[in-house]
Structures are given as C-alpha cells and as structure tokens.
Amino acid sequence: MKIIVTGSSGQVGSYLVEHFSKDHEVTGLDNRPCPFPAAAKFSKKIDIAKTRDLNAYLKNADWVIHTAAQVSVERSLKDPIFDAENNVIGTVNVLWNAFKSDASNLLYISSAAVYGNPVKVPLPEDHPTNPLSPYGASKLCGEKYTLAFAAAYGLCVTIVRPFNIYSSRADPASPYSGVITKFVRWAKEGKPLLIEGDGKQTRDFVHMDDVVRMADLVVKKPKASVGRTFNCGTGKRSTVLDLADAIRILSGGEAEIKHVDPRVGDIKHSCADITSAEEVLGYFPKVPLDKGLKEMMA
C-alpha cells in the first residue's frame, strides 16, 4: 500500500512512518527535518498548511494519515492564531488535496481535548464535545471538516482520539511536554516533581505503541472503520500523585514531590471508554503504565 503520513517529524508521525515503512510504501511530510533516523529517510520537508498542491505526494494514496498539528494546549492559549493556522487550515488543505488526488482513505488523528469537562467517566465517543482551549477547539474543527469532506465529497475517513500519549520521543526540553515526560526529566536531573494541585486528578496514559497498534488496525480494516470515531486509550485511570510516586520509586526513591498551585481550567478526571475500538477493531492496549514508565526511565 501507498501510505502518506503528515507530521512525520513529530512523536506520533515518526512512529507511524517507522512502523508502516516495514511493509508498505511510505512518505512522511513535515515542515521541519525529522530528528529520528528510522523515519527521516522516508520524510520530505514540506509545509502542508501553506503548500496548496500536494498531488505529487498524495496521488492515488491508499491511506493518508494526518497527524501534523500544533499539539500544545499551552501554546494554543498564548497564540490561538498560530494554532488555527496549523490545525484548521492545515487539515482542510490535506483533506482537499486527498480528495483531488484520489486518495482512498484518510485517518485523522484528533485528541481527547475535544471533550472538555467530562459529564461522565469513562468517556464514550458520543460524549458531548465542549473543548476548553483553542487547541481542543481546533482539533474538533478538524474532526468536523473531516466528516464534512466525507459527506460532501465521499472521502472515506476515520477519526482516532488519543488520550494522554507518552513515549521516549516526547521532547523533554519543551515547556509543552506532557506530565510523564516532565516528571521523568526532573527525576533524572534530581529536581523535585512538581504536582499542580492535590494530584488526585486522573488521566488515561496511553503508550505510543498502543496508538500505533490502533492505527495499524484501522488501516487493516477500512471497511469496518470508515466513518467511525474511536477513542485511543487504556480504559484505566491513574492519578497524577500515583504517577509521581511511581517515577520517584523508579528513580531510586530520592526525587522529592512538591505541590504547586493547580492549573486554571484543568480537567479533574479523564479516561477513555474503548468499547467501540475493542468491538469494531479488535483493539486491546498491551503496554501497562508500569512497563511504559520503566522504558521512559531507561
């Protein structure tokens, strides 16, 4: 199969390029050089938000997997225009080019940020969507455009909403990194692990291997997945306090845990209902949090 992955220099995109290139013809697209050698050799430098004609890359693709995005909630709050330019305009451009280039299928990687404050936990895919940040709004807008292209142009689409992704490729130097990446970095540097609030807030931390596993299942089962939206998580909740304690233990028990002021607008609880992915795709997460944390600390 011919597979195009946008955002191939990022955490999600680079893993997908590396995975699918083992058995398929893969091209990655990104506006910055890929820092991961296994994915870099398949990547082309191109800005999908500004390059109007992508036909040379997308023509007759079996799958376009769209991961390219501005992925930081914090940055979206500081610069919502930059967020929209990347996440909305970039997505519309990819969708339009996928249609014009006769791509067979498109997988849109969205985010659990589209849900906002949960009405119930775990969150099913039909849960109300009321994002609390420009990032969440832009990802939801991307979903709506994706479904609109399916309705208006007959494009075969699937949407996946990952929850809290973590992997060793997340940039620890970035101020926008997730809590696991931050805790691991601080523990390795001998710095205190800073918990915002009481630490009793819960999250569904999903390892990158399981995100790749779901994408692989979608690609292998296009007839089952077309037109569907799937949560990608573990279905299990972990408190931030327990997370910090686990990393403290893995680091030798010397890391100090400190509490700071809670983040304004922070969601208290979040967890994926993965029933649909289990029943339709046969998806079952295989990387437990303790195993993933050991890998991160190594």
pLDDT of residue 298: 87
Q: Which residues are catalytic?
A: 135
Please choose, from the candidates 177, 295, 175, 198, the residue with its C-alpha nearest in 3D space to the C-alpha of residue 247: 295
Q: How do residues 45-59 score in pLDDT, each as one tens digit?
A: 999 999 999 999 999
The pLDDT assigned to 171 comes to: 81
Q: What is the pLDDT of residue 264?
A: 74
| Beta carbons within 8 Å of 279's beta carbon, 6+ residues apart | none
Residue 104's pLDDT is what? 97
Any idea which architecture 166-203+236-270+287-297 has in CATH? Alpha-Beta Complex (3.90)
How high is the mean pLDDT of the chain?
Answer: 95
Same fold, 2-165+206-232 and 166-203+236-270+287-297: no
Which class in CATH covers the domain with range 2-165+206-232? Answer: alpha beta
Kindly list the domain boundaries of the chain, sorted by start residue: 2-165+206-232, 166-203+236-270+287-297
CA 220 to chain centre: 20
pLDDT, position 257: 95
- Name the pairing type of β-strands 238-239 and 202-203: antiparallel
Closest CA to 291 of 195, 171, 206: 206
| Parts of the chain with a pLDDT under 70 | 175-176
